[in-house]
Amino acid sequence: MALLPLLSSCSLAPEGWQEGEIEHVVFQGTAEPLEVPRSLSSVGWDWEAPEETGIVEVRSFPLGVVVTVSDGVVALRGDTGEELWRYRRVGEAMTDANVTTSGERVALAYPVEEDTDAALVPHDVVLFDSATGEELSSHVEDFTAEDALPGNVMTLSPTPEHLGLLSDSSRIVYRKLDDQRTGVYALDLETGDESWSLTDLQGEGQEGRDFHPKGVVTSGDVVVLSGNFMDEDIESLPETSEEQEHTVVLLGLDADSGEELWRHEIDRNAPIDLHPIRLGVQQTSGAVIAEARGEEGVEEWVFDPASGERLTEEEFFSGREGRVSGVLENSVVTELSLEDDDAFEYAYTDFSGNTHTTIRADAPSERMTQAFVLPLEGAIAWLDVNQTNTSLGPEEAAWDEARLVVDEKGESRVIDLGVRVERDYAQDGSEAQRSSTPSPPDMTVAPGALVVKEEVPGGARRLVGVVP
């Protein structure tokens, strides 16, 4: 790796950056992509957000993490916490930032004007090279306002009125077609022009039914979409609770053209689940994990997004004791509570169904099933939020500095983090995620480190990088 000084495109006034100024610092060196840690040994770095900003979100990219702050982004090396580049419009509220599927580009959106009554809100969308922070393009584009969005769209991250989900070439958004139907649109990241849309999906035997898209993820060059074919005469939410024939759909689309690549369908005669399939993407391999639960049983897939072909015929979500805690490159990790031993057991099972590694972890009374747990290839990480008073009254709750408990096969270590994560032991923040593999929002597994974000009243300002 060769490191050179960071260069700023703006001069810094003696009194610091003034509101309305653009602070754009680019990275002029070269840095090789980092590996995701297999285990963790110590705190390697900590980082504090720029003055008068707070940390909004942390996302991984090949060199570490991109940190969204309230007026811009800062890219950090995962193994050292070194700032690679930053872009801020000082004091200007940013609507959103996101990273493309490959992690090679970062998009930011700032409102051009604010009109709370408008159905469309103009935004300045700026695109950057994630390795250097070099600006690649900028354009003004209308974003759909919140009151104009279709209901029940909960799986997009960030929410659709913001940037939406990003492929490598487009942002994927949902927009109303009429009072009942919703369309999926891909808008070019560099121009904002529509690249393709899905507004009238057809299917054999689906005459008289409309397709209602719900969950969506991107992996590689593919957009994976889930939803329902349901009777076109359904006009209200209560009607979906009645037992009726409908079809659950899992669909793979080419991210650049919108061409349908493959499709899986499940015919059901039951009340309609408006979010029929939970989707997730494995960080290293890009495999997609899908789980469809219903009154007629569970369907699950771990599949190659390019072909839609299953990578395993084994049943992990429904066919085994315990609960799935995560999916790694070649294994599914299942958590089992051993109540007689006051311990948890984590089984690493390959896609052929063979359990090749088992890790046991002590289970003190405050450690809850699946809460604050992230499996790594060689260890289980549990974030002990160190809540010292678990009173239900928020004014009486209290915390000390959080700790990370790392359990390997036959070994355990406790790492003091030096930051507070003021959450209840039983609620790690992933409860609202409609994902097959939800993860705590305060814990980000990234190349070079597991990054922990503080959670305190007034907003987060500090990150800690725990390294191998």
Per residue in 124-147, pLDDT (tens digit) is 999 999 999 999 999 999 887 655
pLDDT at 433: 75
Task: For residue 167, count CB atoms less than 10 angstroms from its CB and return exposed for 0-12, middle for 13-18, buried for 19 or more.
Answer: buried
- CA-CA distance, 308 to 311, in Å (whole number)? 9
**Average pLDDT rounded to a whole number, residues 338-353:** 91
For residues 346-361, average pLDDT:
95
Contacts for 302 with CB less than 8 Å, ≥ 6 apart: 287, 288, 289, 310, 311, 312, 316, 327, 332, 351
Task: Tell me the three-class secondary structure of 259-300, residue by residue.
Answer: CEEEEEEEEEEECCCCCCEEEEECCCCCCEEEEEEECCEEEE
Burial of 379 (0-12, 13-18, 19+ CB in 10 A): buried
Q: What are the percentages of helix, strand and coil residues in the chain, rounded to 5?
A: 0, 50, 50
| Least confident stretch, 61-65, 163-167, 373-377 | 163-167
Q: Are 461 and 49 a contacting pair, CB within 8 Å?
A: yes
Q: Residue type at 432?
A: A
pLDDT surpasses 70 at 462: yes
Kindly report, residue by residue over 26-56, the tens digit of the pLDDT. 999 888 999 999 999 999 999 999 999 999 9
Q: Encode burial over 347-375: b for 16+ CB neighbours within 10 A, e otherwise.
A: bbbebeeeeeeebbbebeeebbebbbbbb
When pLDDT is cut at 50, 70 and 90, the band that residue 435 belongs to is confident
Q: Give the pLDDT band (50/70/90) at residue 405.
A: very high
pTM for the whole structure: 0.90
| pLDDT value for 151 | 44
- Of 115 and 453, the structure prediction assigns the larger pLDDT to 453
Who has greater pLDDT, 236 or 108? 108
pLDDT category at 392 given cuts 50, 70, 90 is: low
* Range ranked top by mean pLDDT from 169-173, 314-318, 416-420: 416-420
What is the average pLDDT score of the chain? 88
* Both structure tokens of 154: 């909960």
Residue 8: pLDDT band with limits 50, 70, 90: low
Q: Using CA atoms, how far apart are residues 216 and 212, in angstroms rounded to an integer?
A: 12
Angstrom distances, CA of residue 64 to CA of 133, 366, 445: 14, 31, 9
**Closest to 104 (Cα-Cα) out of 136, 140, 71:** 136
| Cβ-based neighbours of 359, under 8 Å, separated by 6 or more | 345, 346, 348, 379, 380, 407, 408, 409
Cα separation, 432 vs 325, in Å, equals: 16
CB 134 within 8 A of CB 163: no
Determine what percent of the chain is predicted with pLDDT higher than 70.
Answer: 90
pLDDT, tens digit (0-9, with 9 covering 90-100), for 254-306: 999 999 999 999 999 999 988 899 999 998 899 999 999 877 778 899 999 99
Tokens 């994630």 appear where?
A: 130
* CB-based contact 356:365 (threshold 8 Å): no
* Integer Cα distance of 265 and 278 in angstroms: 15
